[in-house]
Amino acid sequence: MQEVYFFHNGRGASVVRHKYSYGGPGGLWELAVLKGNEENSEIDYTTEVSSDVLGHLSDEDIKRVLSQIEALGDVEQPVETYRT
């Protein structure tokens, strides 16, 4: 299962849960911060939110982290041509 979110600031998140994700076997989520948009995005390891993927997240944790991502400043560098 995967959900992808994008915000006005050029950032977003990929939220996954499967048997190989961090927390997936226990019904929890893994989240990666993205930069870009629906057509062109990549994982962003350089934010205050996280420098890696976040695992073992509850539904409430996901809501909190998505709010933090949405509150980040605009992406300054254009995204290289890459599709996640």
Query: Domain range holding 27?
Result: 2-71
Is residue 52 domain-resident?
yes
Question: Quick check: 22 pLDDT over 70?
Answer: yes
Indicate whether 79 belongs to any domain. Answer: no
- Tell me whether residue 36 is in a domain: yes
Any domain includes 82: no
CB atoms within 10 A of CB 67: 11
Average pLDDT over residues 21-29: 97
Does residue 7 lie within any of the structural domains? Answer: yes
Q: Are 44 and 16 in contact (CB under 8 A)?
A: no
Specify the number of domains making up the chain: 1
- How do residues 28-71 score in pLDDT, each as one tens digit? 999 999 999 999 999 999 999 999 999 999 999 999 999 999 99
pLDDT (0 to 100) of residue 69: 98
Say whether pLDDT at 84 is over 80: no
Any domain includes 81? no
Whole-structure pTM value: 0.87
Q: Kindly state whether residue 62 falls inside one of the protein's structural domains.
A: yes
Contact present, 56 and 23 (Cβ < 8 Å): yes
Q: Which pLDDT score, from 0 to 100, does residue 83 have?
A: 53
